[in-house]
Amino acid sequence: MTTATAVTDFDAGLMLRVREGDDESFAILLNKHRAPLVSFLNRMVQNHAQAEELAQEAFLRVYRQRARYEPTAKFTTWLFCIAANLAINARRDQRRGFRPEPLDVDSYDRRHRQVADRRANVEQRLLEQARLEEVRRVVAELPARQRAAVLMHKYEEMSYAQIAEALGCSETAVKSLLFRAYETLRGRLAHLV
């Protein structure tokens, strides 16, 4: 993406203003991208508190690097690149004893949102819950880069190019990561279909 193209991206324009010292633009970026970033990180590290800390660290790094920012890619691609690297490093350093949280809903949202249950009966809900837990478990067991690619592709709806930029690899490598991840998921979850 050329500089001229990237500047048409609203977020990149805000980041260019941050680079010039506009802290209000940084607050806009923070407010806009904090929740999706925490959600992504929560899915990566399976710990909401740690996801919050990693999101804070990602935004801190963005702010520290503001003077060197060049809009060569979408702002979200750059942000998710930083976040993915932080999550991969955190998982690598993580010791046993963590309690996984659901991949589909932040624990904060689950506690503070009331949604009508439209499922038919208790048995169906229990069956669906068991399936979701198994899918979450299998996704969580994927190697870190495969897990990051799957989460960015399916949950964040990022393109191959954006994922490649975020993970620091080629689009071909992303396609390979996703192919291997989806093959693993299909194999381990075949009994659910």
Q: What is the 3-state secondary structure (H, E, C) of 115-150?
A: CCCCCCCHHHHHHHHHHHHHHHHHHHHCCHHHHHHH
Please identify which residue in the block is written with the tokens 């503001």.
66
Phi-psi label, residue 137: left if phi above 0, alpha if psi -120 to 50, beta otherwise: alpha
Round to whole Å and give the CA distance between 78 and 147: 18
* Predicted TM-score of the model (pTM): 0.62
> Contact at 8 Å (CB) between 58 and 79?
yes
- pLDDT band at residue 106, thresholds of 50, 70 and 90? low
Does residue 107 or residue 125 have the better pLDDT? 125
Are the C-beta atoms of 58 and 88 separated by less than 8 Å?
no
Class level of CATH domain 3-99+107-113+122-192: mainly alpha
Place of tokens 């350093």: 93
Higher per-residue pLDDT: 103 or 12: 12
Report which of residues 17 and 116 the model is more confident about: 17
For the chain, domain boundaries: 3-99+107-113+122-192
